[in-house]
Structure 1
Amino acid sequence: MLNRVVLVGRLTKTPEMRYTPNGVAVSNFTIAVNRPFSNNQGEREADFINCVVWRKAAENLAQYMNKGSLIGVDGRLQTRNFEGQDGKRVFVTEVLAESIQFLESKSKNNSSGSGQETAPQENTGEPIDISDDDLPF
């Protein structure tokens, strides 16, 4: 069986990193991926795809990328469910990122508005890999 997802898109907001109770870094983020065609009005539409990344890759994503940064995501589609605050079952489908590539430097797309100077981060073309062995489940 095959479960593989490859996406290129822009972050919809600056990623926020958090830690599980066991101290494992995790970041949930959404990327906007343009559709390859225009609608009836001649406008391009986009899909907004929820993703999650763990460990060092999560820390790097939060440290070096901002809202609007172009990234590549390689991973797999997964579903999960949990009980919401209202007691109803909530189902979530998301991409579990196994590899993230930064396709532009942070300084090129510095939209944080912090006013701080940021040294350019070179894109080495090397993916930031995580394996299933790194996941907490």
Structure 2
Amino acid sequence: MAKDLNKVQLTGHLGADPEMRYTAQGSAVTTFRVASNRTWRDKDGNTHEETEWFRIVAWDKLGEICNQYLTKGTRVYIEGRLQTRKWTDRDGQDRYTTEVIAQDMIILSPKGERGPVPDVEPSYEEPVDETVRRIPPPANSRPANTPPPARTPASKIPSRNQPQPIDDEDIPF
């Protein structure tokens, strides 16, 4: 019997700085949005461009690395899997969101260079998740007008090619 496949590979620019939180059990979870552009020509030769926004979720060490090294405008390669989850909003309505659960990340922007970020806002509503808490920036964080730290070589970013066991206590919803 053939195996199923759930794999996403994309490149694009971050639309905002990542946000890192911790679950009640202490697992780091970082979220950010990546804009990926698609360009094509129609039958009349006119060029069209469309921007697709992806919500990315990175857990544990990869989440900490993303939070530390990524900023708005950074061009990245993300590899992971799609996951759709359901929650109930404050009005009692069922809501759904589809996310890319990152398993690998490579920074594509050269050191100190940030690419353009489309002015298009994503068309989905961010879920309110009460089980994670926003963390303040560390005391040794850099001021907003200073360059980011040196790029981490791709070989030092942990790869998550093998599925990691997940305890029900680690899931924030």
Normalised-by-shorter TM-score class: 0.7 to 0.9
| Residue 90 (str. 1) matches residue 119 (str. 2) | no
Match of 1:133 in 2: 164
The offset of 1:38, in angstroms, is 5.1
What is the TM-score of this pair, normalised by structure 1?
0.84
User: What corresponds to 1:54 in structure 2?
Assistant: 59
2:37 pairs with one of 34, 37, 42: 34
Specify whether residues 117 and 69 from structure 1 end up closer, same or farther in structure 2 by C-alpha distance, changes over 3 A only. closer
Counterpart pick for 2:113 among 101, 104, 108: 108
- Which has the larger Rg? 2
- Percent identity at matched positions? 31
Tell me the distance in 2 between the aligned counterparts of 1:54 and 1:120.
Answer: 22
Structure with the larger strand share: 1
The alignment's TM-score, normalised by the length of structure 2, stands at: 0.68
- Helix, strand or coil for the counterpart of 1:22? coil
Q: Which amino acid aligns with 2:32?
A: F
Against the structure 1 CA distance between its residues 134 and 70, is the aligned structure 2 distance closer, same or farther, given a 3 Å change threshold? farther
**In structure 2, what is the Cα distance between the partners aligned to 1:133 and 1:60?**
18
In the other structure, the counterpart of 1:6 is: 9
Gap runs ≥5 in structure 2: 116-141
> What do you get for the CA RMSD once the two structures are aligned?
2.6
Q: How many residue pairs were aligned?
A: 136
How many Å separate the matches in 1 of 2:62 and 2:15? 18
Distance 1:55 1:106, change over 3 A: farther
